[in-house]
Amino acid sequence: MSLSIIIPAYNEEKLLPSLLSSILHSLRTLHDEYPEYPVEIIVVDNNSTDRTSEVARNYQAKVILEERRNISVARNRGAKIARSDYLVFIDADYRVEGNFLREIIRKFENCPTVVALGVRVVVEENDLDPIRRSIADFALNLLRIIKKMAFGIFAFRRLYFEHIEGFNEEFFAYEDVDLHETVKRDLKKKQQSYIIMPHVRVHASGRGFHRGNMISTYMRMFLSRKSRKNPILCGYWYERK
């Protein structure tokens, strides 16, 4: 068995090193229990204008160029290139902890009915002041419990990901929420399952909190599926300064 980590990235030269170095650290922890377990890192450069591709190669990642600016397209492109039995999708502004890869492999290898899984997402400690970070972590935890999903991070058995036909490429944002809804509907009457592992944490950057219109944008996406298909309305996620 083997695992591919797929990272869509647009102008991520500043934050990508944190994610990739944390993945390499997690890989060492994985190999302590599963020596020489095959893992590939794929960075899908979504037409960046900075050093994203160069940075990725410096961390032993395979780089694929996807010129169409759409995160769903970039995720699916990475999945098509991937050669592994398990697929992990993670945002470029995240950072994983040491047990991340090991726990994903353990779960998939030991629980054959688990076809998809998520982990606990928290905000980077130094990215926000304590009050805003506490509010953000409370909101993420509440959504994880209510929606039973992890935002920005998904792991799949490859055959199941192909069965649900991947991310909906009509969506420029909230594509992970849409896919979770697809998974939930698909598994409703099956013996297979999607689970969350709350003991495994990933750290999301707080950059979204430094942009304007965050709350109104998320509310619009939450209330209107149509808005998720509009690249102008989804510009919040595609801007880099």
Q: What CATH number should be reported for the domain holding residue 14?
A: 3.90.550.10
pLDDT value, residue 240: 65
Number of domains in the chain: 1
158 located within any domain: yes
221 located within any domain: no
Mean pLDDT, all residues of the chain: 91
67 located within any domain: yes
28 located within any domain: yes
pTM of the model: 0.91
Report which residue type is found at 24: L
Question: pLDDT for 75-90, tens place per residue?
Answer: 999 999 999 999 999 9
pLDDT value, residue 130: 79
pLDDT at residue 241 is higher than 60: no
227 located within any domain: no
201 versus 144: the higher-pLDDT residue is: 201
Domain residues for the domain of 160 are: 3-209
130 located within any domain: yes
Find all residues with CB under 8 Å of 105, minimum gap 6, and list them: 1, 3, 30, 34, 37, 86
Beta-bridge partners for 16? none
pLDDT value, residue 171: 94
54 located within any domain: yes
Question: pLDDT for 170-198, tens place per residue?
Answer: 999 989 989 999 999 999 988 999 999 99
Where residue 203 falls among pLDDT bands split at 50, 70, 90? very high
234 located within any domain: no
Give me the torsion for CA of 121, 123, 125, 127, rounded to 10°.
Answer: 150
